[in-house]
Chains A and B, each alone.
Chain A
Amino acid sequence: MRKWLLYSLVILSGIIFTARLLYLQVFDSSFQQMSEVNAVSIVYDYPQRGYVYDRNGKLLVANQPSYDVMVIPRNVKTLDTLEFCKMLRMEKEDLERILAKSRIYSPRLPSVVLPQLTKDEYAYLQERMYKYPGFYIQKRTLRDYHINHSGNILGYIAEVNQKTIEEKPYYQMGDLIGITGVEAQYEEVLRGVKGVKYIQKDRFNRDIGAYKEGIFDTLPMPGKDITLSIDETLQAYGELLMKNKRGGIVAIEPETGEILALVSAPGYDPALLVGRQRSKNYTTLYHDSIAKPLYDRGLLAEYAPGSTFKIMNALIALEENVIDENNTFSCSHGYSYGRGRKMGCHSHPSPVNLNKGIYESCNAYFANIYRRIIEKYPTPQDGIDRWSHHLKSFGLGGFLGNDLPIGRPGKIPTSTYYNKIYNFPTYKWFSTATISNAIGQGEVITTPIQLANMTAAIANRGYYITPHVIKEIDGKPIDDPTYTEKNYTTVHPQYFEPVIEGMFDVYNKGTASRLQVEGIEICGKTGTAENFTKIDGKKTQLTDHSIFIAFAPKDNPKIAVAIFVENGYWGGRYAGRMAGLMIEKYLKGTITRQDMEEWVLSRSLEDEYAKPLSGKPFSINQ
């Protein structure tokens, strides 16, 4: 018996050890992870972000170096806080707060103490940093804007937030990502791919070479440069014209769908959202809830298109064969429908045919043809849906699919919509209930880019290419079919000529006859949209929006524009002048109508915008 004691103990301990080893090495996987956290650190190599050029090769956005003071909390030795703060020119409380926060984030990973030093600050600090173990200066690249406009198009970059990190594992804390505009839309093109290096650490957290001889390491892929379709000169000019006004200008090259200018007023200088003041500036812009500089009116603002929309009803009426260009309707200061209800109209000769209807912008004419369109079909529902179908083929009433990450669908009503608001079938409704659609004032709403695209489709006589701001990536023209293929309208090409002739006569003898530009055959249409706001819960009418659509030249058009000027009164007043100036600027490069330019530049609508906020009674349309 005695001889078996040690035998048993030896075998027993063998079994215990084997069990413990099985547990440690095979069943408990947490050690694997702990080992990696322990011994391997990951270093990223960030490639330079791609540059942005305009359509003429002008550099809009480049990069500039920036220096951040970083801290790895667990490496911090006893710190002379006072001296350190003095050096960084920051408050002691702020430093302590930041250090406490960084310890909570991670004792091992770097956190930012002081972001985005200037080169001079960097030069001063760099020589002194060695005294402060745990702190170091990290070089990063920031955007360097060569223009002080187009903030709405270019967008900006900022550190990724926690939500994005969770959704897109590519990003780490502190990485930069495009937040809006082109920076967001072409994020993956511009940013490239960061390189990764796995570094073997020793127990003092010192680098001791590449992990596994670098077999997992990857090289960074540089970001690609992009060329935008934006014409920087035209864009800058548009923003200049819009100074002290609110609204949007969208200019498109009809043949290609390239956006030449996308002005949102008021805009902001993109450089405001770079550097150490970024957060402060952003807050200021963000909290300006009246002028809303961060709100891209060109893409997001939904306005009633007003009389510019008459063009569409003319095209649909021709396509639906309910009129021809010679049909005439009489107008006696308006159009009466149903029990004493009347849609007013201004003074002009009567009767009116298509051509005159357009250039005089006769409400009665369009009320008549609208009713013909709707009443062609057995029920108003069928009529509305047919009408709506045509409009949608012009890119109205839905997201356009343009290459900026924001947008609004606008609205083109359908039978479903009217059935709902009129409680069909309990109550019936007829074409007259929707008669405001005839003059672009009822349930129809559009964004400036939709209207510009519509104008481009008219200029092209029956098709459009989805508007886009991208022109070239890495020097190669885009080949994405979304932005190269034609979208045909349901209105056939032959019906465009009489309508375009009418738009041409708007300049020759109509509502824009005083806005002609010498040497350019412009086709356009004015629009004046009633609009309302709520003051103390009461619906109050404000001065009309001034709207204009135009394209030029008449044959082989090179530019189509849509302009909204909030509370600018009638269409020819602000928007019409601006349209002429934009077109001349783009086609000629110089301005001959300096009277018009001076008129626009010298005027401000700030008084108009102050009215509803003043708390006092005010009058409109003066």
Chain B
Amino acid sequence: MSVSNSIGKFDWVTIFIYFALIAFGWANIYSATLTDSSSTFFDFSQIQTKQLVWIALSFILIVFILAIDSKFYERFSSLLFLIAVVSLLGLFIFGSTIAGQTAWYAFGSFRIQPSEFVKAATALAMAKYLSDIQTNIHTFKDQLKAFAIIAIPIVLVLLQPDPGSALIYFAFLFPLFREGMHFVYLLLGFFAAVLFTTTLAFGHEWVIFGVIAISLLVYYKHRKKRPNLFKYIFIAASCIIFSLSVEYVFENVFKQHHRDRFNIILGKEVDLKGVGYNTNQSEIAIGSGGWTGKGWTEGTQTKGNFVPEQHTDYIFSTVGEEWGFLGSFLVVALFVFLILRLLYLAENQNSTFSRVYGYSVASILFVHFFVNISMVIGLFPTVGIPLPFLSYGGSGLWAFTILLFIFIKLDSQKHVNR
């Protein structure tokens, strides 16, 4: 199977969006890291030049990915997952620590973050497991195995500690649900999130009070059906224990900067110069963009470096300031369209492996997109995860390229892979 024979079968719409996002992303990285005109363009210490190299290298990567036989990914998915897990484990011995996180392998000035690539490997492993004829997702035992595939990287990433990256793995709940897992797990996840947030916002006393009140109310309403009292007590008790443990974890396990990030979003902190600085500056940058923005490289907030990490996690604030509503809407629209396109393609796959993998790719991109943009526009706590294709960073760019193009390859072979 050669590349040239399958060119017509590639999904060019997805590829086009990929290139559009990469190009636009680079333009914004260029602007966000522009310091003064004295440095030359081909100075490899310049971030925009480095990113250009990453982009060029990822094009070579694309050719390789598309050239490899699609069977390879299914066959070697377990091995790739194993390598990924080992690479995470290896960090604890060989990894270098930056800003308190042991998340990188450093080779001179060149650094690589394995957790970015582990997402793709996990997606392959999950697809492989769910497409296995032996697997029945409705059985508790197989559900547990599926959760284990997600839990291994989560635990290893949390230990770095990188809670932001760990959060991404919840994306795998979507393909699991799509493949028939009981919706109660999603519901549990949702309730956990609600309890988590309300506990932090109002304190466990109010949550306990609320849980008991709601339980009594529901029990009273259904009293004619003689409901099982123990079931109610069990659910209420679980909720209370969860709430208490959230508070425990928040106060004792979380680091202060994690706590602060949540507190800002929950409206508990208004110290704009301190912890809320990122979110506030990001909102100012975006808000000052207006309809059409201040123009490329003309953003005053961007030039003044008011938004920290603007070329990485906060790249969207540059888009907002310099391209205005039109530019930022375009990015949102491109992402929404890309994810919907991937979902559509995934639904049309003939093999379970391709379908689950495609669904995982769409879910991972969605969670990244959702968490990152929510954070930048002040709807979500500050969680350090990048915006796919736009944010600066070689590991991220390569990982998303690999993730996406494996699916493009699988998709192009859907009729062959029957």
Contact = CB atoms under 8 A, between A and B. Distances in A.
Interface string B11-30: 00000000000000000000
Given A3-B178, A11-B340, A17-B377, A35 B332 contact: no
Nearest to B332: A17
A6 B336 contact: no
B310 to A, nearest CB: 10
B304 interface: yes
B251 to A, nearest CB: 31
B303 A14 contact: no
B312 interface: no
Contacts of B328: 21, 25
A614 interface: no
B300 A202 contact: no
A6 B332 contact: no
Interface string A1-35: 01101110111011011101110111010111011
A39 interface: yes
Interface stretch (A206-214, A483-491, A508-516, A585-593): A206-214
Nearest to B300: A39
A24 B301 CA distance: 15
B343 A39 contact: no
B287 A32 contact: yes
Nearest to B377: A20
Interface string B281-304: 101111111110000001011011
Contact of B300 (A10, A17, A200): A200
B324 interface: yes
Contacts of A10: 336, 339-340, 343, 366
Given A25-B290, A31-B284, A212 B340 contact: no
B414 to A, nearest CB: 17
Given A6-B174, A7-B340, A24 B305 contact: no
B64 interface: no
A523 to B, nearest CB: 72
A40 to B, nearest CB: 6
B232 interface: no
Interface centre among A5, A20, A40 (most CB of B within 10 A): A20
Contacts of B284: 31, 34-35, 38
A6 B341 CA distance: 12
A17 B286 CA distance: 12
B160 interface: no
A5 to B, nearest CB: 7
B363 interface: yes
B287 A14 contact: no
Contacts of B76: none
Contacts of A16: 379
Contacts of A2: 177-178, 180
A21 B290 CA distance: 10
Contact of A39 (B286, B306, B378): B306
B290 A26 contact: yes
B305 A203 contact: yes
Given A24-B287, A25-B320, A25-B328, A6 B305 contact: no
B36 interface: yes
Interface in B307-321: 320-321
B401 to A, nearest CB: 21
Given A20-B377, A24-B287, A202 B304 contact: yes
Nearest to B362: A6
A121 interface: no
B88 to A, nearest CB: 27
A155 to B, nearest CB: 42
A38 B177 CA distance: 47
A209 B377 contact: no
A584 to B, nearest CB: 69
Contact of A30 (B178, B287, B340): B287
B373 interface: yes
B370 interface: yes
Contact of B320 (A11, A14, A21): A21
A557 to B, nearest CB: 66
A94 B330 CA distance: 57
B333 interface: yes
Interface string A427-438: 000000000000
A607 B328 CA distance: 85
A201 interface: yes
A2 B325 CA distance: 33
Q: Chain B contact residues (Cβ within 8 angstroms of A): what range?
A: 35 or more
A39 B374 CA distance: 24
A35 B333 CA distance: 26
Contacts of A39: 300-301, 303-304, 306
A175 interface: no
B336 A14 contact: yes
B246 to A, nearest CB: 24
A595 B41 CA distance: 90
A211 B298 CA distance: 9
A31 B286 contact: yes
A497 interface: no
A595 B80 CA distance: 120
Nearest to A16: B379
Contacts of B362: 6
A31 B340 contact: no
Interface centre among A31, A208, A212 (most CB of B within 10 A): A31
B174 A208 contact: no
A203 B280 CA distance: 13
A9 B170 CA distance: 15
A269 interface: no
Contacts of A555: none
B298 A212 contact: yes
B377 A21 contact: yes
Contacts of A21: 286, 320, 325, 328-329, 332, 377
Interface string A189-212: 000000000001111000011011
Nearest to A24: B287
Contacts of A211: 300
Contacts of B281: 38, 203
Contact of A25 (B325, B333, B343, B359): B325
B288 A31 contact: yes
B74 interface: no
B377 A24 contact: yes
A201 B340 CA distance: 42
A474 interface: no
B69 interface: no
B91 to A, nearest CB: 31
Contacts of A203: 281, 304-306
Contacts of B378: 20
| Closest A-B pairs by Cβ, 4 of them | A31-B287, A35-B288, A39-B300, A14-B336
Interface of B: 36, 174, 177-178, 180, 186, 281, 283-291, 298, 300-301, 303-306, 320-321, 324-325, 328-329, 332-333, 335-336, 339-340, 343, 347, 359, 362-363, 366, 369-370, 373-374, 377-379
Given A18-B329, A20-B378, A39-B306, 12 more contacts: A10-B366, A14-B336, A21-B329, A25-B286, A25-B324, A26-B325, A35-B288, A39-B303, A200-B300, A202-B303, A203-B304, A208-B304
17 contacts: A6-B174, A6-B178, A7-B340, A10-B340, A13-B370, A14-B333, A14-B335, A18-B332, A21-B328, A31-B286, A31-B288, A32-B288, A36-B300, A201-B304, A202-B305, A203-B304, A203-B306
